[in-house]
Structure 1
Amino acid sequence: MAVQSWIDILKSSKKTALIHDGKRKIHYLFTDGKEMAEEYDLKTDELIVRKWCHKSTLGVQGSWQVEVGEPLVSPAVSLDSDVIKESFCNPVLMRKDSKTSFQWRIRNLPYPIDVFSVFAEPSERCIVIKTSNKKYYKKFSVPDLDRSQLSLDNSALSFTHANNTLIVSYKKPKDILTLEQELLKELKKMKGNTEGDVDCKTQ
């Protein structure tokens, strides 16, 4: 069973827990050298952050890539620098899940809701967002579904638009909800260190 194999990978990874600032922080080290860091809200058990760190083929530590949560802020660049950086007006995609849905927010999209079209492309294993005014186009995958080898279903998709932000929701399949509950039970059994350092290189 594919879902079971991902939960087995999670269970067999080397995990370290830290309770800090109202959050349960978990660091996973997998047998292939990949690392994953997650943060859960202690009150609601909601996932706030998930990020990954992959070693290069030469074994060099890569940088952290955010899967869920606010994108990592790149180091400040002085105004007179020659470095070209993204405009603050550009659309920004971030993922923020709820208990029952995967959810993506794309800020800085000031167009009316009727120009947006959001649909799943099961053959390409991705969700597509496009506008009829040709101003925005985005394709992205749902890593949780890929890891559990679950197919995309258009009927699970919905979207709303408010305050220049498009919010795309995808209802979590039953298999994912079961997996998340099972994992959370495991994580709650861990004795979380509440102070001091922990072997968790999440910076």
Structure 2
Amino acid sequence: MAVQCWSNILKKAKKTALVHDGKRKIHYLFEDGKEMAEEYDIKTDDLIVRKWRKKNSLGAQGQWEVEVGDSYSTAPLQDDLIKESSSNPVLMRKDTKTCFQWRVRNLPYPKEVYDVSVETAERCCIIRTTNKKYYKKFSIPDLDRCQLPLESTALTFSHANNTLIISYQKPKEILTLEQDLLRELKKMKGTSEGDVDCKTQ
């Protein structure tokens, strides 16, 4: 089963834990050389950040790519020299316990302008506007990794304060996987300085 396969990959990864600033930070090094870094709120256990890094074709470390969280707050300073206008729409993912959730800031149009749909064949979600002012296609990597189908009925959206909020109900397989993983992560002996190697086997 694909969910079990992803769960095994997570278990086999070399993990390091660091508790700092009210956050539990976990660094994963996978057998294929990819790295994943996650940050959880210690009080709520909410996932705040998930980012990935892989080596480029020359073997050097690539840039971190943010999957969950605000990519602007984690971007290196030199990237700030050229940046998008602050009035452009910005898509970021911020999950809840039961939903994958995306927010698109700077979208002032009323709710009836938006059409948010699941494209099962392309394995993605698409945001369209009837006024042709915004179009965005995005995937749900968590479902891809576990090879779970996308369901139209799991998708809902709302609009408030110039922000479009899209929620996708997490399937029970993902909820179980996340709970099991969190239990494992809490067993790790995190240090406040870092640089300790912790196995969860």
TM-score, normalisation: structure 2: 0.93
**Counterparts of 2:76 and 2:111, CA distance in 1:** 31
- Report how far residue 74 of structure 1 moved: 5.1
**What pairs with 1:103-114 in structure 2 (closer than 5 Å)?**
103-114=101-112
Question: In the alignment, what sits opposite 1:35?
Answer: 35
**Counterparts of 1:29 and 1:197, CA distance in 2:** 15
- Report how far residue 57 of structure 1 moved: 2.1
- Report how far residue 25 of structure 1 moved: 0.4
Residues 133 and 199 of structure 1: CA distance in aligned 2, closer, same or farther (over 3 Å):
farther
Q: Alpha-carbon deviations, 1:98-130, whole Å to 9, x = none?
A: 000000000000001000000100100000000
**Counterparts of 1:41 and 1:33, CA distance in 2:** 27
Question: In the alignment, what sits opposite 1:198?
Answer: 195
Find the partner of 1:167 among 148, 165, 168.
Answer: 165
Question: In the alignment, what sits opposite 1:25?
Answer: 25
Identity %: 68
SS in 1 for 2:137: strand
Question: In the alignment, what sits opposite 2:57?
Answer: 57
**Counterparts of 2:174 and 2:41, CA distance in 1:** 19
Q: CA RMSD in A?
A: 1.3
**What pairs with 1:59-138 in structure 2 (closer than 5 Å)?**
59-71=59-71, 72-73=74-75, 75=77, 76-77=80-81, 85-138=83-136
Question: In the alignment, what sits opposite 1:80?
Answer: none
**Counterparts of 2:54 and 2:196, CA distance in 1:** 17
**Counterparts of 2:160 and 2:119, CA distance in 1:** 25
Question: In the alignment, what sits opposite 1:141?
Answer: 139
**What pairs with 1:4-23 in structure 2 (closer than 5 Å)?**
4-23=4-23
SS in 1 for 2:38: strand
**What letter corresponds to residue 124 of structure 2 in structure 1?**
C
**Counterparts of 1:96 and 1:44, CA distance in 2:** 14
TM-score, normalisation: structure 1: 0.92
SS in 2 for 1:55: coil
Residues 38 and 130 of structure 1: CA distance in aligned 2, closer, same or farther (over 3 Å):
same
**Counterparts of 2:64 and 2:106, CA distance in 1:** 25
**What letter corresponds to residue 18 of structure 1 in structure 2?**
L
